[in-house]
Amino acid sequence: MNRDFLDLRIDLRERRAPYALATVVEVLGSSSAAAGSMAIIDGHGTLLAGWVGGGCAEAMVRQAAVDCLKQGAPTMIDLDLNDEVFGAGMPCGGSMRVFIDPVMPAPRLWLFGHGLIGESLCSLGAMLGFEVMVIDSLARPDRFPGARRVIDDDVSYRQATAVAHDFAVVATHHKGDYAAIRRLLGTDIRFIALVASRQRAHLVFRRLSEEGIEGTDLARVRAPAGLAIGARTPEEIALAVIAEIVMVRRGGQGVAKRDLAAGTAEAAADVPATPSHS
């Protein structure tokens, strides 16, 4: 792995850009790439550096890399370089196996606010592997020991550089709700949770709507935030919010696992038995 290759990986990490690392692990017969050849491919399927073979073989690896990044899981693909119809479309007289590993940036959780809910969210988020960024003029670093960074000198939230796969929770207790959400809606972030009463959330939404924010953008804001677990204390509210974040991140359903199991059993019971043909 040459210096330029390593520098590119460092640059992608610093920019928090996801990419796939493709490695040729086995070659049988003739191939333009040797075992150990590597390539870096971004989420659009662009080969940024390296070499894993040319022609259709490269195209198949690039497409597999895109799929791999969408699923967030590594994969192994086999390329038949012999078959022009069902393989890579290039009769080289061999085959190749390529391992593709998605390299995803650490999920980042942006917390707007300095109260006990935010402190609890910071602890829970750090425990779950999030890179927590706290941004509030009254936030004290000693109250957020799990945060990667505490930003207390940015009343306009200009340093909130959230990207699509980040998560954000606004818990400013009304003081900065509007400004924080306005800033977040100017980014690509898809998950914004507002910790507020329904009445307060309605006022924030109405002001944003009056300023021309469209409904599709407002739909990115989840308010009131969190799953309905009957939370009352700040710690419980933080738990409900982080549970919703995990649900969205992992594609969960937000229902009790017991009820899911019961539903499966009930569905199975409703299926008529297969008639005997004896």
Q: pLDDT, tens digit, for every residue of 87-123?
A: 445 555 578 899 999 998 888 999 999 999 999 999 9
Task: Answer yes or no: is 132 within a domain.
Answer: yes
Are 204 and 237 contained in the same domain? yes
Question: Which domain-ending residue is among 71, 103, 135?
Answer: 103
Are 168 and 89 contained in the same domain? no
Task: Answer yes or no: is 256 within a domain.
Answer: no
Question: Which domain-ending residue is among 75, 103, 131?
Answer: 103
DSSP string, 76-100: EEEEESS-TTTSSS---SEEEEEEE
Are 195 and 154 contained in the same domain? yes
Task: State the DSSP H helix or E strand holding residue 190, giving kind and residue range, or none if neither.
Answer: none
Task: Answer yes or no: is 136 within a domain.
Answer: yes
Mean residue pLDDT of the chain comes to 86
Backbone phi and psi for residue 111, each to the nearest 5 degrees, phi listed first? -115, 125
Q: Show the tokens assigned to 151.
A: 């930003």
Task: Answer yes or no: is 269 within a domain.
Answer: no
pLDDT digits (tens, 9 = 90+) for 135-181: 999 999 999 999 999 999 988 899 999 988 899 999 998 788 899 99
Are 186 and 158 contained in the same domain? yes
Task: State the DSSP H helix or E strand holding residue 43, giving kind and residue range, or none if neither.
Answer: none
Domain of residue 124 covers: 108-250
Question: Which domain-ending residue is among 103, 133, 158?
Answer: 103
Are 201 and 157 contained in the same domain? yes
Tally of domains in the chain: 2
* Beta carbons of 75 and 98 less than 8 angstroms apart: no
Grade residue 86 by pLDDT with cuts at 50, 70 and 90: very low
Are 152 and 219 contained in the same domain? yes
Are 48 and 120 contained in the same domain? no
ω before 224 within 30° of 0 (cis)?
yes
